[in-house]
A = this chain, B = another copy of it.
Amino acid sequence: MLTMQDALARLTAYWTEQGCLTVQPMNTEVGAGTLNPATFLRVLGPEPWRVVYVEPSVRPDDSRYGENPNRLQTHTQLQVILKPDPGNPQELYLGSLEALGIDVKAHDVRFVEDNWASPALGAWGLGWEVWLDGLEITQFTYFQQAGGINLEPVSVEITYGIERIIMALQDKTHFKEIEYAPGISYGEVFGQGEYEMSRYYLDDADVAANRQLLELYAGEAQRLIDAGLPVPAHTYVLKCSQAFNVLDARGAVSTADRAAEFARMRRLAGDVARLWEARRDELNHPLGLVEPLPPARPVSLPAEKTQPRTLAFEIGTEELPPSEARAALTYVEKAVTDGLAATRLTHDEVRVFATPRRLVAVVGSVAARETDSVRVVRGPKLAAAYAPDGSPTKALEGFLRGHGITAAEVEQSDFNGVRHVTVSRHEAGGAAAEVLAPLLAKVVTGLRGAKNMRWNDPQLSYSRPIRWLTALWGDDVIPVAVGTMAAGRTTRVLRTAEQPEVEVASAETFMETLAINGIVADPEDRQELIVTGAQDSVYPDGRVDVAGEAALIDQITYLVEAPTPLLGTFDESYLTLPDAVLTTVMRKHQRYLPVRSAEDGSLLPMFVTVANGPVDLELVRAGNEAVLRARYEDAAFFYRADRQVPLPAMRSRLERLTFTDKLGSMADRAARISAVAADLAGPLGLLTPTLERASQLVKFDLGSQLVTEMTSLAGVLARDYAENAGETPAVAQAIYETELPRNTGDRLPASVPGALLSIADRLDLIAGLAATVGLPTGSSDPFALRRAFLGLIAVHRAQPALAGLSLTDGLTFAAARQPVVVSEDVLLSARDFLAKRLEQVLVEEGRPVDRVRAVLPHHARPSVADKLLAQLDSLVLDPDFVRVAEALQRCRRIVPAGTPDSYDESVLVEPAELRLHEAVVAVAAEVSALEEPDLVRFTEVVRRLAVPLADFFVDVFVMDENPVLRAARLGLLATVRDLGAGLLDWSELRL
């Protein structure tokens, strides 16, 4: 059996053979091999560097007393840095797996999008998790930035998770069972340390001491930066990081602390990085400089042909993220189509395909040459071409000489009404290869991803490295050259194929060549294979919810080139876990399709995974099953443990979770939510025992282990644990609904207590954070307040029982409950922010802007706005409403702002105005009797003013010379105007 120490030795030896230095782990605690100066500092600057080292990586937060089978406070990374990118790092990596004795042909080894960023280090890169039969065994990253500095050249970072790999290879279910050395288990060697360090990190580390350590370390780091010493400064940045992680594991870090600490570390790390670069410059780069690769030379032009042939163009990449592959599909189609349109090459349909590793365009019957054309070249004006004697002027002579023609060959044409001499030049079309080469090159250079990276090609930038180009027109290679790549006739198929590189005879056989080699280039074909394969494998008892899993299936389609669906099972006992737990693990973590009973839709203890290529099915199935088992075991471990804990005990753990520095613990926050919910419910008569009990428990599941692990399950697990603990379904549901909606489009609270708690939750969040951190600005919304506002709006709109609830009143209640002062200014800004969000939501739903703005005075009660908008939909077709509305707007225009809605009726004289007066008096009484904003009822009442108003405007001159009369008339109109006040912002309405 390959022992763990052998594995480390073999990997080290393998990478040493690839020219890597071997160095030692960092001699201060680090969370990852990346932090070792052999990575963090060495990826900076222009010097080459290849290194391999083991790094025991300390993650205090992962402490589990050695009990959890897969989680350790110190796990062993093996870290490789290749600088510059050697051009074939994935292939080198697969070689390292073979060095471990892993048959990469039999296993399903995949590169699954995973981008890496460390805000604390100002570092990021693009790359993948490497999956071995569904198990993440390696992080593979093209480092783009470190310490905020763009990296040039780019380094490849390969980080192996050794315990995981060994557990898989040794078929162990607990890390302690790993055979570390012959006859000696991991547990025997490291078990006690795991337990004791877990105790330290979780229970016994002194918070005050570690706070002091953090400050002392930061102080030393800063002093050393000031002294121009990046190496010791870096060491102290690492010590900061460890002290911070210890505090975090002890639950002593608030969100605000975290942000501040990350900012400080980012700043320090950036300073260290810049200093290091400067020092290496001063030292004149002891390890030399990386030479950029030279640009490629295209193949020579093929001999001319005459018959139309197919064009096949392939851009070979390393594994693209699914979304990028899909986007590229659209781009390539347009780029090729437009490109061809700009030539004079005739051709048939342009078809494009994409897999994770290739973008393919195939165009039928592309002509061998462009059609010829005639170009008319303009010469001097006719008037200036000939002397009065008709002989050519010097200007014409020059023109003739320039084109090598005689005066006899000259023609004439009008240009903008002026006659010029011209000459017609016959232009032959270009040969296909000649014309296509620059066109295709442009397709490549035009590729852009949502996130782009650089690799060893000095000229290109894209979502992932482009590694080869295949460009054929018929039998000929088109001489495309981009960056360091020259197109040829070689394509690459599965890396694990007997022959991973294949010559393609001609463009016509291109797709066939791929197909023969197992590559299903067409996404539709792949999807078909996946769906039918999945359904077949579970038929007849199970089914895959193809519609429901559409997004996942789409993703899987772009994760494989040669889909090999296979059915796995898991132990039925795990079905006792909540559905959401099971499916979240399957979908989010493993990209497995859940399988449901064809009968009742309940989950079956199976899953469909889709491997890539002709793997050993049994081996891959077993591997994936083991991974899922480990994940479920993990979840079950926490689930069982959580269900042992009484809810109040779990809830009391919230006291140890800091919410923010100024706003106290999560327990404080839960208490506020509870109080605000009561504030809201009281006036509405909605105070119920359900609400009361749910309020006592709200958020309790944040104190559970499983939610700590899988935060997306907050609420879901609360419901489960609450029911398990004997709470009523209504209470459980209300606690669950407190968390709704979790994102835009998520389900909304169905129960009134749930809706009240949901709103109270968000009001508390907004009131507290607006006062302490501020409302979201364009780019900064660290606490997702925007989402909270949208949630408020959505919940209010969805729950008719809350129509009477004013969110702005609620905000005032929530403000009063905060441990900090929430100023009136802050509340005003928050109301304004709410109004703006409501406007935005309604407009995005397709409501006319004018009507949205008209109802916006009701932003405190979004459901009222909804009702009014709905009424407007029909009322705008009602001539009476239009008339009334216009009249109200007219009154508004005529009456100066500030005019009071009272008048001395005794001075009115004209019959029309007296009639209006009478009508207004009658209507006003009825209008003021309307309790709730209701445009229909309002219109029913006010439509009686339509005729009197019309008459008034015809018969009465408002601006009479007699000021008393004028005042009375204006007062009358102001009264009309104010009839609709508070119902709509009438001025916004466009009729």
Contacts and interface: CB of A to CB of B under 8 A. Distances in A.
Contacts of A24: 24-25, 54, 56, 76
B279 A181 contact: no
A16 B10 CA distance: 13
A936 interface: no
A280 B27 CA distance: 26
Contacts of A21: 5, 180-181, 184, 189
Q: How many monomers of this protein are in the complex?
A: 2
Interface in A641-691: none
B204 A209 contact: no
A21 B213 CA distance: 34
A210 to B, nearest CB: 8
Given A220-B206, A283-B192, A5 B16 contact: yes
B196 A231 contact: yes
A232 B286 contact: no
A65 to B, nearest CB: 12
A191 B286 contact: yes
Contacts of A196: 229-232
Given A9-B12, A25-B25, A206 B223 contact: yes
Q: Identify the interface centre among A23, A27, A56, A213: most chain B CB within 10 Å of its CB.
A: A27
Given A27-B30, A58-B27, A199-B232, A16 B22 contact: no
Contacts of A12: 9
A340 interface: no
A223 B197 contact: no
B232 A184 contact: no
Interface residues of A, number: 57
Contacts of A182: 19
A966 to B, nearest CB: 82
A485 to B, nearest CB: 29
Given A27-B29, A188-B287, A209-B219, A232 B180 contact: no
A26 interface: yes
A744 interface: no
Interface string A240-283: 00000000000000000000000000000000000000011001
A13 interface: yes
Contact of A232 (B9, B188, B197, B229): B197
A743 to B, nearest CB: 40
Contacts of A458: none
A216 interface: yes
A199 B231 CA distance: 10
A227 B204 contact: yes
Nearest to A180: B21
A47 to B, nearest CB: 9
Contacts of A30: 27
A224 interface: yes
Contacts of A192: 231, 279-280, 283, 286
A8 B22 CA distance: 9
A200 interface: yes
Nearest to A219: B209
Given A27-B26, A192-B283, A229 B212 contact: no
Interface in A316-348: none
Contact of A193 (B220, B231, B280): B231
Contacts of A279: 192
B27 A25 contact: yes
Interface in A1-51: 5, 8-9, 12-13, 16, 19, 21-30, 37
A188 B286 contact: yes
A187 interface: yes
A316 B204 CA distance: 53
A181 B232 contact: no
Contacts of A220: 205-206, 209
B5 A187 contact: no
Given A193-B231, A229-B199, A232-B200, A28 B25 contact: no
Contact of A200 (B58, B180, B184, B229): B229
Nearest to A286: B188
Contact of A28 (B27, B76, B187): B27
Nearest to A47: B188
A22 B6 CA distance: 9
Contacts of A76: 24
A230 B287 CA distance: 43
Nearest to A56: B24
B22 A5 contact: yes
A14 B101 CA distance: 22
Contacts of A180: 21
A21 to B, nearest CB: 5
B209 A224 contact: no
Nearest to A27: B29
A107 to B, nearest CB: 26
A58 B37 CA distance: 16
Interface centre among A8, A13, A286 (most CB of B within 10 A): A286
B216 A212 contact: yes
Contacts of A283: 192
Interface string A907-931: 0000000000000000000000000
Contacts of A23: 189
Contacts of A37: 193
A209 to B, nearest CB: 5
Given A21-B181, A279-B192, A200 B224 contact: yes
Contacts of A16: 5, 9, 181
A536 B531 CA distance: 95
A445 B23 CA distance: 49
A197 B235 CA distance: 10
Interface in A168-216: 180-182, 184, 187-189, 191-193, 196-197, 199-200, 204-206, 209, 212-213, 216
Contacts of A227: 199, 204
A919 B691 CA distance: 124
A31 to B, nearest CB: 11
Contacts of A29: 27-28
Nearest to A279: B192
A250 B413 CA distance: 92
A282 to B, nearest CB: 10
A37 B74 CA distance: 15
Interface in A444-479: none
A204 B221 CA distance: 11
A710 to B, nearest CB: 29
A165 to B, nearest CB: 17
A875 B719 CA distance: 112
A254 to B, nearest CB: 22
A114 to B, nearest CB: 26
Max chain B C-beta neighbours (<10 A), residue from A58, A192, A283: A192
A8 to B, nearest CB: 7
Interface in A359-380: none
Nearest to A4: B22
A204 B220 CA distance: 9
Interface string A75-118: 01000000000000000000000000000000000000000000
A21 B190 CA distance: 12
A50 to B, nearest CB: 9
Interface string A272-316: 000000011001001100000000000000000000000000000
A357 B76 CA distance: 45
A184 B230 CA distance: 22
Contacts of A56: 24, 27
A291 to B, nearest CB: 16
Nearest to A231: B196
9 contacts: A8-B22, A9-B16, A9-B22, A22-B181, A191-B286, A192-B280, A196-B232, A204-B229, A209-B220
Given A192-B280, A199-B232, 4 more contacts: A5-B21, A27-B58, A192-B283, A199-B227
Interface of A: 5, 8-9, 12-13, 16, 19, 21-30, 37, 54, 56, 58, 76, 180-182, 184, 187-189, 191-193, 196-197, 199-200, 204-206, 209, 212-213, 216, 219-220, 223-224, 227, 229-232, 279-280, 283, 286-287
Pairs of residues from A and B, 7 with the lowest C-beta to C-beta distance, nearest first: A196-B231, A200-B232, A5-B22, A196-B229, A21-B181, A188-B286, A193-B231
